[in-house]
Amino acid sequence: MNTTTAELDGLAVAAAAAAPVWRASSASQRASWLRAAADGLEAHIDELVGIADEETRLGEVRLRGEVGRTTGQLRLFAAAVEEGSYLELTIDDADPSATPPRPELRRTLTGVGPVAVFSASNFPFAFSVAGGDTASALAAGNPVIVKAHSGHPRLSRRTADVVAAALEAAGAPAGSLALVEGREAGNLLVRHPVIQAAGFTGSLGGGRALFDLASGRPDPIPFYGELGSVNPVVVTDAALAARGEALAQGLVGSFTLGVGQFCTKPGVVFVPAGGGFEELVAGFAAGATGGPLLTDRITDAFPAGIAHLEADPSVAVVARGAAGGTDAAQPIVLSTDAAAVAARPETLLEECFGPVTLLVRYSSRDELLAALEAVPGSLTATLHSEPGDDVAAALAVLERKAGRVLFAGWPTGVAVTWSQHHGGPWPATTSLHTSVGASAIRRFLRPIVFQDAPVELLPPQLRDDALAGLPHRRNGVLRVPQPGR
């Protein structure tokens, strides 16, 4: 069911009309709208999970948990709106004696306007119609038009109906949330003059095409894309000696989680040569079970990606797991060496979406560092070491390559918090911002300064009576209101 150009124009007109209402809404109003959206999802959870399981085959347990994450995100942003620090309120009082004389300046952040959100296939709730991009854009004070993912169209439509109805019932304007379908509608959406920013989670090729469309508009707009990530892991000799079996078991659990369809899957793992890690991983991988992949396109691409890796003369198969049914993806562990990675990163470090990981043997510190330098930007990097290990050089490279560095555990699983950063250098993302956590709201805000403005014409949050209860900086001094005052 593809959205026509005329239908898209109608939705854009409604979003443009809703934008001033969202921008002018009070913190309490906007927070109540976000919580109403969360309540609406919870009220329809049985219906929505049933549809999602039919379309994605992810299972009821996983999907119910994902609804919880989605409603939690909406409520996190509601709390962030009420707390107020996201506005970055800053005031400089007038000072005629300064050189040059200083006028009164009052700065805040305001919503950019209607936002386009492109749904992801692998998280049909948390990164889809009512997911983090939508929640953060609404929290910033912007209506949203979502491009549905073709992998779960019925779920997309029903989720959009539920959330739009909940928003309007809570007092939000018509046009607050809308849905479009079809690739051409998505291309038109990112180019539509009403749209002022876009958020995307998906493939490198699809994201780059949309990024170019957003940049090529007569009025270019910011495009916040989460694209591809191999999420490197480094295991030191000491860590392998101390806990090799646990590390092997953890790796297998992580790269097969969700049938390897997490954007934070550990796709390339650097291990000491001759340490026996391959054998340990093979033992656990043999008992791992795969499953069906999310879409026909992903299903077709997985064996092609494996074949692309196996075509390199340095690559060998370490182990295969069980497919887990007809047309299911079979977990596979491959191996190569650090010299090959440094020489042919375009082949060996290309993301392969599905249950596969590549073990990379290194024989020296210099060999490891040369291979790490070839790793593209990633969402995460993981360093498994022991006290006393000299890992400063490797850590310095990983810090440049990723947005989140782990020192324990595995990268699959992204906590939704104030401090989280889910992003990284290209091609992990197209920006410096996060798509998960409270600071994701910053993507859909722009600064505005009011100079010598009459009090009655200032936005409410910039007036002195409101500032007394909000975090702000005045004349260079940070002021944080005390609880209960």
CB 129 within 8 A of CB 165: no
Cα separation, 54 vs 68, in Å, equals 19
Q: What is the 3-state secondary structure (H, E, C) of 86-137?
A: HHCCEEECCECCCCCCECCEEEEEEECCCEEEECCCCCCCCCCCCCHHHHHH
Q: Which helix (H) or strand (E) holds 180?
A: strand 177-180
Is-catalytic flag, 226? yes
Cα separation, 186 vs 8, in Å, equals 10
Tokens representing 347 are 């082949």
CA triplet 182, 184, 188: central angle to 5 degrees? 115
Cα separation, 101 vs 98, in Å, equals 5
263, 351, 352, 367: which is the annotated catalytic residue? 263
DSSP for residue 443: G
55, 66, 181, 226: which is the annotated catalytic residue? 226
Question: Which residues are bridge partners to 380 per DSSP?
Answer: 404
DSSP for residue 440: G
Tokens representing 15 are 């979003």
Task: Return all residues near 396 (Cβ < 8 A) that are at least 6 apart.
Answer: none
Is-catalytic flag, 66? no
Q: Give the residue numbers marked as catalytic.
A: 226, 263
